[in-house]
Amino acid sequence: MFRKLKDYAELLKLEHTIFALPFGLASMVILMETPPHGEKVLYVILALIFARLAGMAFNRYLDKEFDILNPRTSSWPHARGVVKEWEMKLLILLFSGLFIFSCAKINKLTLLLSPVVLLLLFVYPLAKRFTFYPHLFLGVIYFLIPIAVDIAINEKVTVMSFLLGCAMAMWVSGFDILYSLQDYEFDKRMGLKSIPVRFGIGGALKIARTFHLLTFLSLFALGLIYPFNKIVYFLGLFALSAFLLYEHSLISEKDLSKVNKAFFTVNGFISIIFFFVVLVSRAL
């Protein structure tokens, strides 16, 4: 039983939850007009987690034929046959159902919008079959996180949630481009589409840097209009920007060996730093 749970955790990359969750929590801290009920906070967090797990399970199910052939992914549980197709289907249904249930416990509006989120989550892994810009579909999903949080706790959409959404969309689209560099040759050979395939490695790096500059500008604009403690917020923002610069310094057109370090380690720090900066700024 423990072995099977470990296979599921590896399949769904549970550790990647660290990317989205701190930003989701930061969105709650920023957007709450009055402290929400603890139960509502719990269901917002669960909705974020279950949505990501449903999307990841569908991604693995859909890409199995490619993951078997890709040297980078051939050792993953579903590619090795350790996790069967029926198990992945069951996980998709389970986490989708739990996501919808969590949305229903928040309010009626989040329940009505939950199928839209699931649709986008399921379109993302399909996108590389018909467009060179699948990263933007993932960006749209992350754009919706603060929008959904705003709707969940305030039942409206504000300028602040829009700016947060823009920042998150550009951040995740940028690092998804960097992550896809690992499969550049494989994707070209298999006819799969991505920004690196369309523009080459050099062009993709420039686009990722542009996206992350837009992340900084969105968060800077947020700091100007939101009543944070300005000193703490902007010091934190510049520290976060230093991590973004460091992330890009790890990767060059001629050396992609540190993509994993840039993707996992640095992005994990970025999301956690942003949450604590927001928390302290608001508390002060």
Distance between CA 34 and CA 40 in Å, rounded?
A: 13
Give the number of domains in the chain: 1
Joined tokens for residue 128: 């590389």
CATH of the domain at 69: 1.10.357.140
Show pLDDT as tens, one digit a residue, over the chain (284 residues).
677 778 777 888 776 666 677 778 888 888 887 776 778 888 988 998 999 899 999 999 999 999 999 998 899 888 898 899 999 999 999 999 999 999 999 888 889 889 988 999 999 999 999 999 999 998 998 898 888 888 888 888 888 899 999 999 999 899 899 889 989 999 999 999 999 999 999 999 999 999 999 999 999 999 898 877 888 889 989 988 888 888 888 888 877 777 776 666 677 778 888 888 888 888 77
Name residues whose C-beta falls within 8 Å of residue 150's C-beta, 6 or more positions apart in sequence.
Answer: 27, 31, 156, 157, 158, 160, 161
What are the φ/ψ torsions at residue 125 (nearest 5 degrees)?
-70, -20
Range of the domain at 269: 2-283
Distance between CA 126 and CA 134 in Å, rounded?
A: 8
Q: Are 258 and 6 in contact (CB under 8 A)?
A: no
What are the φ/ψ torsions at residue 255 (nearest 5 degrees)?
-140, 105
Q: pTM (2 decimals)? A: 0.89
